[in-house]
Amino acid sequence: MDVAVQGTANLINRWRVRAGIRSIAADGAHETCVIFSGGATGSGATEAQLMAGYAKSVLAFDGTVLLEDQSATTWENITNVIPLLEDVDRIKIASQPAHALKARAYLRRQRPDLAEKLVRADDYRPGEWMVVKPLLALYGLWTLRGLKAEERKISL
């Protein structure tokens, strides 16, 4: 897939892409497909297009990329990628840690059978983002407030 994009991925999306790419490298999977999910962020390229463009042009990712560019929420991210996950062996959701936890919980709600294929991604590293981590943690807790207590566990 050729990804030509006008615009730049923001700081958070660049972090998400790096976490996704290093999650692939962590287990050396050769037939890995990366799905970037996210709809319009205003005028111009979608979030998925911006992240794919960053992966290809800046991180030199040359693997298979699929785009889901219609979603506006995390719930929709999961809903819209489910058809792309039907026949996979393993699923890694890589993002900012609280966002990834929320997405995994949503996958468990929508498709428990697919959630059984979840494996750990390399999206949390101690010391990463130390300056802003307290703010991100507070924001993450606020966004997770709608999850049940058992959904907040990181079990994989």
pLDDT in tens, 105-145: 999 999 999 999 999 888 776 666 666 666 666 666 666 67
> Does the pLDDT at position 30 exceed 70?
no
Q: Which residue has the higher pLDDT, 146 or 80?
A: 80
pTM: 0.76
In this prediction, residue 2 has a pLDDT band, given cuts at 50, 70 and 90, of very low
What does the pLDDT average to over 26-46? 83
Q: Which residue has the higher pLDDT, 43 or 2?
A: 43
What does the pLDDT average to over 73-83? 96
Which amino acid does the sequence have at 85? L
Q: Which residue has the higher pLDDT, 96 or 20?
A: 20
Alpha helices by DSSP H, the chain = 11-27, 47-57, 74-85, 97-110, 112-115, 133-143
Query: What is the pLDDT, as a whole number, of residue 101?
Result: 87
Which amino acid does the sequence have at 82? I
Query: What is the pLDDT, as a whole number, of residue 108?
Result: 94
CA distances from 74 to 5, 23, 39, 78 (A): 23, 20, 11, 6
Query: What is the pLDDT, as a whole number, of residue 42?
Result: 77
In this prediction, residue 61 has a pLDDT band, given cuts at 50, 70 and 90, of very high
Query: What is the pLDDT, as a whole number, of residue 45?
Result: 93
Query: What is the pLDDT, as a whole number, of residue 3?
Result: 46
> Tokens at residue 153, please?
């566990």
Query: What is the pLDDT, as a whole number, of residue 151?
Result: 64
